[in-house]
Structure 1
Amino acid sequence: MISNVDARVVSLNGVDNVGKTTQLAWLSRSLPGAHLVGTVDRWDTRWQQVASGDFAQWWFVASTTPEHTGLVLGSHAARRAGSGQLALEDRGLPMLLATCAATAVVKDGFSPADALHLVENIATDLPVAEHRREVHVLLRRSPDPAREAHQALRREPRSTDRRYVAYQHALAEVVSLQVARGDYHTVLEIEDAPILDVQNRLREHLRGFGVHAGALPVVALDRLWVLAGMSESGKSSVGELLRDELGVTRLKIGYLLDVAALRAGEIDPYAWSESEQAERLTEEVLRFAETTKARTISVESAHRFEATAHLKRVWGEHCQVAYVDADSAVRASRAAETEVRLRARDETKHERGADRIVDIADHVIDNTGSLAALKLAVHRLVATADLQHVALDTSDPVTHAEWLRQASDHIVDEQVALVLATGTTGTAGWRDRWSDLDLLVVRDTAPADWLRRTLGALPIPDGIKMGISTFTTSDIDALRVPPRVVQSLRRAAQGVGVIYHRPGYRVPVPVSAHGDRTSRGELGLILMTTRRLLAAPMFDVRAVHKHLVLLAKILLRADGYHFDDVEDVLAVFRDLHPDAACDPPVLDDLIDRSDDPAVRQRLLEAADRLLSYVDRLDHIVRTSA
């Protein structure tokens, strides 16, 4: 016999498709002894009789409001009487009253407030469910009833008729009235949050009511890559590239599910529903990440459609599904087994829906080509997965405005997507007798004849050096660019240097980490070039100074500082790296007195000291032989 003093009820409530059943099932596994009692229709045989006919007709037309309310609340009383010590209810009493009221709105034409009042009056004459300590939690995507109903209908897997649409809107209105008068103990505004985030918030709130569900590890996982594809498509190759070249931790789905089964005392993890497989897999990934501090993880191989789709819902944007695709002939040529055996494996995967994962994949990798092509594709996948793409606004240059306008008119055609003035071009930082005119042109294609015919014929102002860098839109989308272009794209997103922008073209905006990584990746080249400049018989003051500044920028970006102005770069560098003793001449002296031996010697010594400083930076105290 259950003591009413100790017995508890937790109910999850909300309009249709808000995630009540999913969240309750996951929650129940973290509460030993909890009784997942489900919905009320499991607790009265009369529901089977109603469902055997036209259920919607009975619900919305044939039944009276007292009859309908009596069945719903009578079933609730039966559910409560048969519940264990801790009952988890899918729709508690407030939500059941709301459903009856919303039905009365559609069926009888009442207002939501009048319908709720009517149903509650009917309930006073019905048997009351046994008293327990209750916690009623409402999951809500929006406090606006119209938007809440729209969200419910948008997620409905089946087509809906006008009556059901009206019911969802009425239900959202009734629930809003209940919230206003405090019928729910807590309201979780979940918007479009991933299932995992909602589950964590739900457990946290319940602890405040004395219901202590086991806490899920909270980890700062940047990305979960899920690798899918048919047999021999190249999933393992992609997993290896992610691990070996990009530092992603590589795990196997089968192994993680085996660990989950062992932890739960189950023999076969695939006996679980596919939704539960995804949730159990998530828990193991979280535990692994918490223990190892891994920030990016890949799991392979995803063979089950429903499990993969649910995994995306669990993780939200943190989960990215990459489907590795190759036709059957290519896959057969790679297989070490017979074609019959390969077809048998394919058939098994087809039955699980592995081939349909391509329809929900965030990325599809064509792996019919060379290893070089695959490496480039994987690098592009990781480099650009989190990038924001924006449209740019053109800016007004403050120097060389007329030449920049003429250059843009000369260059732009239907394939040109972007023209940027880079460096100091067009800005107040331009210095006569020192600065170059630098343009960045992004075009859909960049064939040699166009480069020679168009860019080669661009007029250059007398006495000024000009440099034009050309990249394709594919180069830009893949961030297949050097550090200076990364910085130019970041500045363009801030409204600097945009001379022309094709309508509709959205530019990826690299984050500061891209600038840092690509800059350090070129450090060796910059060091080599700087030493060549110092060794040259004709000492090029301008080139040496530019490379000295570039070395300082690379170290500052690694420190987390991003500056473009030369004087700012050198001033901050002196403050952060005093041991470099890097004190070159000021820019005005370099421009006006470039032939002065004292100025030249001071620049040479500053560059030499900076090179020596860089050479000392990464020394390790001791390395075993």
Structure 2
Amino acid sequence: MKPPDHPPPLVLPPGLVRATDSLSAKDQRRLDDAVTRLHTVNGRLWDAEDQVRDTSISTLRVADLKREIDQLNAERNALAERADDILVALAPTPHLNAPPHTETLASTVDRLSVLTLRIWHNERSARCDDLARRRTPVLLRQRTELCAAVDALVNDVRAGRVRLPSAARHKLYGRPDAGTTEVTPSPRLERVIAFGGLSECGKSTSAAFVQHTCGAQRLKMGYLFRQAAQRHGLADPYALSARRQAELLLDELNRFAEGHADQRLFTIESVHDDASIAELKQLMGDRLRIVYLDADFAERVRRSGTPAQAVAAKDEIKISRGAHRVAAFADHVIDNSGSVIALRAQLRRIASPGGIAGLRTATPYGLGLSAAAAGATADLVDALQPCSPAVGLVALTGSPGEHAWIAGWSDLDLLVVADPQATDDVSAAVAHYREALNNAASVGLTLATAAELSARRVTPRVAFALHQLQEGSPVLYASPGLELPFINRHDLALAAVHELPQVILALRRLRADAQPDKLRQLYKHIVLACRLLLREHGNWLAGADRILAASATLPGFPKLAVPPLAEVAAAWREDKAHEALPSITAAADQLLAWYAHDVAA
């Protein structure tokens, strides 16, 4: 019978298998993982040692193979120790007076693994090598005897007739302080997205989008390997084992994360090798999210703008490295044959996953509203709540959430999260709400779907409102199981950068048409501009008076002589806006002049 093209799995002796049945389910899984990986490492060691004996390879290749052999030997020892840590539990009680055996159980398993590989290699050579053909029956007999000896040892250990020696091997490779500790992710390496797929599937486009919208640090596999090769003196890091490649990648990611303390999200592109990325996933766990982008061949050819043969040639190279197999264990497989909006929505959810919202609910009567506004708001909630789950959230954001609502001055900024089929119900309820308020306050409605929120298809102001809710500002109603995106201060700092230019343009337009009826808008835009400027400087104050006072601490920022909010609001309510307008327009001029100067600097 022709031997298989790949080494056979390691088959443990039956007595040892029966003995391990007494272990816990968790320890059985750990032992199976350690023994399976030990056998795999032995197979890689055999291949590496065969290659290093080739007299035709360069000295640089020999050096690389020697480093790989050292790494695999270190991994072999670590896995054997890990197996022994579990197998020692087979001895029910210590038997200190029993004679010690010469080797541990994992050592015998390691010998059995090597013997299994030796038999397989001899069987393959037996077709053209008479010596190998004569040697094979001897090796098979040795395996039978070794299995019997292992089972006998297990029986003696369990009966207390023999005790096992210490499992610690204390094996050193390289410098005395080098050790063989497994590389682990740095605490600063919070989240990494790896993009894989065939040619022209959208890897680079996706990484660029996550970079620009989520502030990710974009890295290439090739760059990380080049850095590792230079650091460790490797001529060809791709020739190393998949495990060693993964450790080199993680080490470089750790170094980058440690050197960029404010960076929380990283992307790596060009995942073309399924073995190394699978090992990296094992090292990083959920901190690494593997995204496989798929698209049919015709679509990829169309996007490339090159002949089909060119795309097929690139695919062939990637497939030879296992790029297509990444889809089998990827965390997310995205069909990128559709619209760019669908792609970006999925990418935003992956880069910034949401969660069950732990929101604080309150009645409208606890938000500092007038009695009439609170009553009308309570009726609105009563009208929308029966529409659940189509209506998932009802909240008043802005000043009511900050307990700074002023009758006759403040708006009622209403945020409703609802499915499209609930639009008519929401529209009717809000129309009734406005009617019930009887011009006591202006209602500004933001109506969004849960999918839009999770995909971050929101304006910066809505993002800030969501942040306020997750920080403890109350909602009027939230359906059970509602998922909202988590908005952190880093997200808001990025949002402030995008929103501030819009606010400045609006402020400049209002200033050009500064009339008493624009007082309220002018004042609010001045406060909002100062609030965004403070956010860009890491200051997260709330309250108009506090924001305006703190803005004077910004570098070179003028001290705005703006009356307190209570005075401006009173002037507005009492039809004295013309009296307050000069100080507000003067403040707008100061702010706009400062902004123009600093932007031009």
Distance, in Å, in 1 between the alignment partners of 2:492 and 2:213 is 18
For 1:56, the equivalent position in structure 2 comes to: 16
1:616 and 2:582 correspond: no
Equivalent pair of 1:395/1:496 in contact (CA under 8 Å): no
Q: Given residue 381 of structure 2, which amino acid in structure 1 is its aligned partner?
A: S
Distance, in Å, in 2 between the alignment partners of 1:92 and 1:261 is 26
Distance, in Å, in 2 between the alignment partners of 1:529 and 1:613 is 16
Equivalent pair of 2:242/2:276 in contact (CA under 8 Å): yes
Task: Please state which structure has a larger fraction of its residues in helix.
Answer: 2
Q: For 1:333-344, list aligned pairs within 5 A.
A: 333-334=302-303
Q: Given residue 475 of structure 1, which amino acid in structure 2 is its aligned partner?
A: E
1:326 and 2:295 correspond: yes
For 1:311, the equivalent position in structure 2 comes to: 280
| Deviation by residue 1:462-505 (Cα, 9 ceiling, x = unmatched) | 23211111111122112222233222212212332311101111
Relative to 1, partners in 2 of residues 1:426 and 1:249: Cα closer, same or farther, differing over 3 Å?
Answer: closer
Structure 2 SS opposite 1:469: strand
Structure 1 SS opposite 2:93: helix
Relative to 1, partners in 2 of residues 1:266 and 1:478: Cα closer, same or farther, differing over 3 Å?
Answer: same
Structure 2 SS opposite 1:116: coil
For 1:395, the equivalent position in structure 2 comes to: 362
For 2:564, the equivalent position in structure 1 comes to: 586
Q: For 1:396-475, list aligned pairs within 5 A.
A: 396-397=363-364, 398=366, 399=369, 400-412=373-385, 413=387, 414-425=389-400, 428-445=403-420, 449=424, 452-458=427-433, 459-462=435-438, 463-475=440-452
1:499 and 2:465 correspond: no
1:555 and 2:533 correspond: yes
For 1:302, the equivalent position in structure 2 comes to: 271
Count how many residue pairs are aligned between Structure 1 and Structure 2: 465
1:486 and 2:451 correspond: no
For 2:98, the equivalent position in structure 1 comes to: 122
For 2:587, the equivalent position in structure 1 comes to: 606
Relative to 1, partners in 2 of residues 1:446 and 1:301: Cα closer, same or farther, differing over 3 Å?
Answer: same
Mean CA deviation greater in 257-266 or 576-585: 257-266
**TM superposition score normalised by structure 2:** 0.65
For 2:41, the equivalent position in structure 1 comes to: none
1:522 and 2:499 correspond: yes
Structure 2 SS opposite 1:434: coil
Relative to 1, partners in 2 of residues 1:584 and 1:232: Cα closer, same or farther, differing over 3 Å?
Answer: same
Structure 2 SS opposite 1:491: helix
1:58 CA displacement = 6.6
Q: Given residue 569 of structure 2, which amino acid in structure 1 is its aligned partner?
A: I
For 2:543, the equivalent position in structure 1 comes to: 565
Distance, in Å, in 2 between the alignment partners of 1:495 and 1:291 is 34
Structure 1 SS opposite 2:452: helix
Relative to 1, partners in 2 of residues 1:214 and 1:572: Cα closer, same or farther, differing over 3 Å?
Answer: farther
1:588 CA displacement = 2.3
Equivalent pair of 2:571/2:579 in contact (CA under 8 Å): no
Distance, in Å, in 2 between the alignment partners of 1:300 and 1:472 is 32
Relative to 1, partners in 2 of residues 1:254 and 1:57: Cα closer, same or farther, differing over 3 Å?
Answer: same
Equivalent pair of 1:229/1:325 in contact (CA under 8 Å): yes
**Which 5+ residue runs of structure 2 have no aligned equivalent?**
1-7, 22-69, 105-165
| Deviation by residue 1:5-49 (Cα, 9 ceiling, x = unmatched) | xxxxxxxxxxxxxxxxxxxxxxxxxxxxxxxxxxxxxxxxxxx9x
1:231 and 2:232 correspond: no
Q: For 1:226-375, list aligned pairs within 5 A.
A: 226-242=194-210, 248-254=216-222, 256-257=224-225, 260=228, 269-286=237-254, 295=263, 297-334=266-303, 346=315, 349=318, 353-371=322-340, 374=343
Relative to 1, partners in 2 of residues 1:548 and 1:303: Cα closer, same or farther, differing over 3 Å?
Answer: same
| Deviation by residue 1:193-226 (Cα, 9 ceiling, x = unmatched) | xxxxxxxxxx9xx99x963459989794554331
1:241 CA displacement = 4.1
For 1:191, the equivalent position in structure 2 comes to: none
1:358 CA displacement = 3.1
Distance, in Å, in 1 between the alignment partners of 2:401 and 2:253 is 50
Relative to 1, partners in 2 of residues 1:533 and 1:446: Cα closer, same or farther, differing over 3 Å?
Answer: farther
Structure 1 SS opposite 2:362: coil
Equivalent pair of 2:530/2:548 in contact (CA under 8 Å): yes
Mean CA deviation greater in 324-333 or 238-247: 238-247
1:542 CA displacement = 1.2
Distance, in Å, in 2 between the alignment partners of 1:582 and 1:515 is 25
Relative to 1, partners in 2 of residues 1:93 and 1:608: Cα closer, same or farther, differing over 3 Å?
Answer: closer
**Which 5+ residue runs of structure 1 have no aligned equivalent?**
1-47, 62-83, 105-114, 130-181, 187-202, 621-625
Equivalent pair of 2:530/2:547 in contact (CA under 8 Å): yes
1:596 CA displacement = 5.8
Equivalent pair of 2:401/2:473 in contact (CA under 8 Å): no
Distance, in Å, in 1 between the alignment partners of 2:262 and 2:515 is 51
Q: CA RMSD in A?
A: 4.4
1:90 to 68, 73, 77: 77
Distance, in Å, in 2 between the alignment partners of 1:457 and 1:579 is 45
1:354 CA displacement = 3.2
Equivalent pair of 2:464/2:492 in contact (CA under 8 Å): yes
Distance, in Å, in 1 between the alignment partners of 2:311 and 2:286 is 34
For 2:513, the equivalent position in structure 1 comes to: 536
Relative to 1, partners in 2 of residues 1:488 and 1:596: Cα closer, same or farther, differing over 3 Å?
Answer: closer
Task: Please state which structure has a larger fraction of its residues in strand.
Answer: 1
Structure 2 SS opposite 1:403: helix
| Deviation by residue 1:119-173 (Cα, 9 ceiling, x = unmatched) | x33245x5699xxxxxxxxxxxxxxxxxxxxxxxxxxxxxxxxxxxxxxxxxxxx
1:432 CA displacement = 1.4
1:242 CA displacement = 4.7
Relative to 1, partners in 2 of residues 1:449 and 1:605: Cα closer, same or farther, differing over 3 Å?
Answer: same
Q: Given residue 16 of structure 2, which amino acid in structure 1 is its aligned partner?
A: A
Equivalent pair of 2:359/2:474 in contact (CA under 8 Å): no
Equivalent pair of 1:391/1:505 in contact (CA under 8 Å): no
1:602 CA displacement = 1.6
1:477 and 2:454 correspond: yes
Structure 2 SS opposite 1:406: helix
Distance, in Å, in 1 between the alignment partners of 2:579 and 2:442 is 26
1:408 CA displacement = 1.4
**TM superposition score normalised by structure 1:** 0.63
Relative to 1, partners in 2 of residues 1:585 and 1:225: Cα closer, same or farther, differing over 3 Å?
Answer: same
1:275 CA displacement = 1.8
Distance, in Å, in 2 between the alignment partners of 1:598 and 1:304 is 71
Equivalent pair of 2:189/2:253 in contact (CA under 8 Å): no
Relative to 1, partners in 2 of residues 1:339 and 1:117: Cα closer, same or farther, differing over 3 Å?
Answer: same
Distance, in Å, in 1 between the alignment partners of 2:536 and 2:251 is 35
Distance, in Å, in 2 between the alignment partners of 1:346 and 1:487 is 44
For 1:174, the equivalent position in structure 2 comes to: none
Q: Percent identity?
A: 29
Q: Given residue 276 of structure 1, which amino acid in structure 2 is its aligned partner?
A: R
1:331 CA displacement = 2.8
